[in-house]
């Protein structure tokens, strides 16, 4: 089966607001594709369009080469986790998985197997309303995996999780991608995907901003930054500005500057007789690269 997700000029408007704007991307199997953008960028809407929950004004979304509504027994093709809270609080975890399995003719034993896989077998008889958020996220993953689908669509699966839960989710997603599945996972925080995703699709205001690997994104981030600590802030700022840089002071004894290497900064200040108490060179993080990419889009 062709386990790719593809959107073709996908467009969704709500009244006058464009939620998804002419979005064309391909999500490939065997890796984790992070789907990032600020809140309100259109990530959830895109996922709902993929799953046939909402209808686009134009363009189309294809999963495994077909429109979602055309797929027979869809849970064996696409597993989705849109909202871990979307569980009836009075129903047990086991009953929740059972009705989902039954809707697609999935064997009863599979629900038990998934409960063991996500570590909920011991509490599966308890009301889901008594589950912690982490347990509900695990239950959501179990539900998404019921049909053993080659494609997974997960909306903010780590939101609200504690560090242990985040680590579990990352390891689970990595294992699923390593099995050759397509893992499409959204987040509004790049840091959540930093150690997880292989590939990134960045959107803002519904438009595609970038579709590249994690390494490529870091490389596009503007230059390294150098932070110095000195008692002579004003003098240091003047020297650096004369060298063509744009230094920024924190108001006390620190100055940061972009566009100059650490050795160049050290040399400039040294030759001007300015005392350096500390000099730290930092590489742009993925978060900063992402911020540069999306900051214009994040503003209303």
Strand residues in 234-274 grouped as ranges (E): 248-249, 254-258
Q: Helix, strand or coil for residue 271?
A: helix
State the Cα–Cα distance between residues 196 and 154, nearest whole angstrom.
13
Interface contacts to other proteins, rule CB under 8 A? 48, 51-55, 68-69, 71, 74-75, 78, 80, 82-83, 85-92, 95, 98-100, 102-105, 143
CB 9, min distance to other proteins, A: 19
Residue (143 or 245) nearer to other proteins, CB: 143
CB 136, min distance to other proteins, A: 11
CB 175, min distance to other proteins, A: 23
Q: In 104-198, which ranges are continuous DSSP H helix?
A: 108-117, 133-145, 163-178, 190-194
Q: Is residue 16 classed exposed, middle or buried when 0-12, 13-18 and 19+ CB atoms within 10 A define those classes?
A: exposed
Residue (147 or 247) nearer to other proteins, CB: 147
Residue (18 or 218) nearer to other proteins, CB: 18
The residue behind tokens 């982490």 is 134
Strands 225-229 and 278-282: antiparallel
Contact 155/186 with Cβ under 8 angstroms? yes
Residue (6 or 155) nearer to other proteins, CB: 155
CB 90, min distance to other proteins, A: 4
Residue (128 or 236) nearer to other proteins, CB: 128
CB 186, min distance to other proteins, A: 15
CA 263 vs. chain centroid, Å, equals 35
What's the DSSP call for residue 197?
Answer: -
Strands 199-204 and 32-36: parallel
Residue (135 or 269) nearer to other proteins, CB: 135
In angstroms, how far apart are the furthest CA atoms of the chain?
A: 78
CB 236, min distance to other proteins, A: 55
């Amino acid at each position: 089966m062709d386990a790719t997700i593809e959107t073709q000029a996908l467009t969704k408007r709500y009244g006058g607001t464009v939620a998804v704007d002419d979005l064309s991307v391909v999500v490939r199997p065997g890796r984790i594709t992070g789907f990032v953008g600020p809140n309100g960028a259109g990530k959830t809407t895109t996922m709902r369009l993929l799953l046939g929950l909402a209808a686009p004004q134009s363009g189309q979304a294809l999963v495994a080469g077909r429109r979602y509504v055309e797929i027979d027994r869809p849970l064996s093709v696409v597993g989705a986790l849109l909202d871990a809270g979307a569980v009836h609080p009075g129903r047990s975890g086991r009953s929740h998985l059972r009705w989902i399995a039954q809707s697609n003719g999935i064997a009863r034993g599979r629900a038990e197997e998934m409960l063991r896989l996500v570590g909920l077998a011991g509490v599966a008889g308890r009301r889901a309303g008594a589950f912690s958020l982490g347990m509900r996220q695990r239950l959501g993953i179990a539900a998404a995996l019921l049909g053993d689908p080659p494609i997974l669509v997960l909306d903010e699966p780590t939101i609200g999780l504690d560090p242990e839960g985040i680590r579990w989710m990352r390891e689970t997603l990595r294992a699923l991608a390593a099995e050759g599945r397509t893992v499409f996972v959204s987040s509004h925080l790049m840091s959540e995907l930093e150690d997880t995703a292989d590939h990134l699709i960045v959107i803002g205001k519904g438009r595609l901003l970038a579709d590249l690997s994690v390494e490529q994104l870091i490389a596009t981030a503007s230059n390294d930054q150098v932070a110095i600590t000195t008692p002579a802030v004003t003098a240091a700022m003047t020297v650096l500005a004369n060298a063509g840089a744009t230094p920024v002071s924190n108001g006390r004894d620190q100055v940061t500057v972009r566009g100059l290497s650490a050795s160049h900064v050290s040399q400039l200040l040294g030759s001007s007789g300015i005392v350096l108490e500390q000099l730290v060179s930092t590489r742009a993080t993925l978060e900063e690269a992402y911020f540069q990419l999306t900051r214009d889009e994040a503003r209303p």
